[in-house]
């Protein structure tokens, strides 16, 4: 009798799977508005959109999503032995290869000024030192833009007059994250501080909804988006962007 019921249970499970179309479709956690979300959508994946890439990893860790699609630079800092997520792993699957840039309001001269600071910092070796500190030195892109003086008009002049550079970010190690004292650090944060120092102004970091980054810029709530932003066609159409400074890819993370 027990054997009969065991066989009956197995038959019910098989029929249930068949009725549902076979195996359960994998769910991929992605950051809303990110290049990872775009790649997952293009691939036809079933997605679970969350606020940040860090939350995407939490979804996998808790089992509420089967995998996460995040930036390779973040995966290198957050996934694997000795990291915040030692039980997760980066698969061999790369969905895209892309470049990071800094975004300013369309037509802003701040992007050109940032290019000049990048070139100066790269020539001095400072950019490479900061990259090494945060483990992104292999992804760094050589900077060759002309070094420029502080403009006397446009956004740059307005920022100097205000005495503050307002930087829109998310919590995104190793680019922008808080240290034990609650101070923002990371490769992007440290480079933004160099730009503020060159301008002679204070710096303020504001956490933004990544999906609303263009609106935050256009409304004047922030001066710049500086957070491992992928230079997609949509981004470059909506913003005045710096030259690329880091190579990146969208990778899949699982348990």
pLDDT for the residue numbered 3: 43
Distances (CA, A) of 135 to 75, 203, 233: 11, 24, 27
pLDDT for the residue numbered 165: 98
pLDDT for the residue numbered 138: 94
pLDDT for the residue numbered 22: 54
What angle, 0 to 180 degrees and rounded to 10, lies between the N-to-C axes of helices 154-162 and 110-124?
Answer: 80
CA distance 98 to 96: 6
Determine contact, residues 55/32, Cβ cutoff 8 Å. Answer: no
Per-residue pLDDT reduced to its tens digit, 111-125? 999 999 999 999 999
Task: Quote the pTM value.
Answer: 0.83
CA distance 226 to 195: 12
pLDDT for the residue numbered 146: 85
What share of residues in the chain are helix, strand, coil (percent, to 5)? 40, 30, 30
The number of angstroms, rounded, from the C-alpha of 94 to the middle of its chain's C-alpha atoms is 15
Beta bridge partners of 168: 206, 225
Per-residue pLDDT reduced to its tens digit, 76-98? 989 999 998 999 999 999 999 99
- Cβ within 8 Å of residue 88, ≥6 positions away: 57, 60, 61, 79, 80, 253, 254, 255
- Cβ within 8 Å of residue 112, ≥6 positions away: 145, 148
Residues in the chain, pLDDT under 50: 1-20
Per-residue pLDDT reduced to its tens digit, 137-146? 999 999 998 8
Determine contact, residues 145/243, Cβ cutoff 8 Å. Answer: yes
Q: Which domains are present in the chain? A: 2-97 (3.40.190), 98-248 (3.40.190.10)
């Amino acid at each position: 009798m027990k054997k009969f019921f065991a066989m009956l249970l197995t038959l019910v499970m098989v029929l249930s799977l068949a009725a549902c179309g076979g195996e359960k479709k994998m769910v991929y956690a992605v950051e809303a508005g990110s290049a990872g979300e775009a790649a997952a959508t293009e691939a036809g994946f079933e997605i679970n959109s969350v606020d940040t890439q860090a939350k995407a990893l939490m979804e996998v860790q808790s089992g509420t999503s089967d995998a996460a699609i995040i930036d390779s630079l973040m995966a290198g800092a957050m996934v694997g032995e000795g990291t915040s997520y030692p039980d997760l792993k980066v698969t061999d699957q790369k969905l895209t290869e892309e470049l990071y840039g800094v975004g300013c309001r369309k037509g802003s001269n701040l992007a050109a000024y940032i290019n000049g600071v990048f070139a100066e910092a790269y020539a001095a070796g400072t950019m490479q030192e900061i990259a090494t500190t945060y483990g992104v030195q292999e992804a760094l892109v050589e900077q060759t833009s002309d070094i420029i003086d502080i403009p006397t008009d446009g956004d740059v002049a307005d920022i100097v007059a205000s005495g503050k550079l307002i930087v829109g970010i998310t919590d995104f190690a190793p680019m922008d994250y808080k240290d034990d004292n609650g101070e923002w650090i990371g490769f992007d944060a440290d480079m933004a501080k160099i730009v503020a120092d060159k301008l002679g102004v204070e710096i303020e970091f504001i956490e933004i909804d990544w999906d609303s980054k263009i609106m935050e810029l256009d409304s004047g709530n922030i001066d710049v988006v500086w957070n491992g932003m992928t230079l997609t066609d949509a981004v470059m159409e909506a913003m005045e962007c710096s030259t690329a400074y880091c190579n990146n890819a969208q990778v899949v993370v699982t348990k």
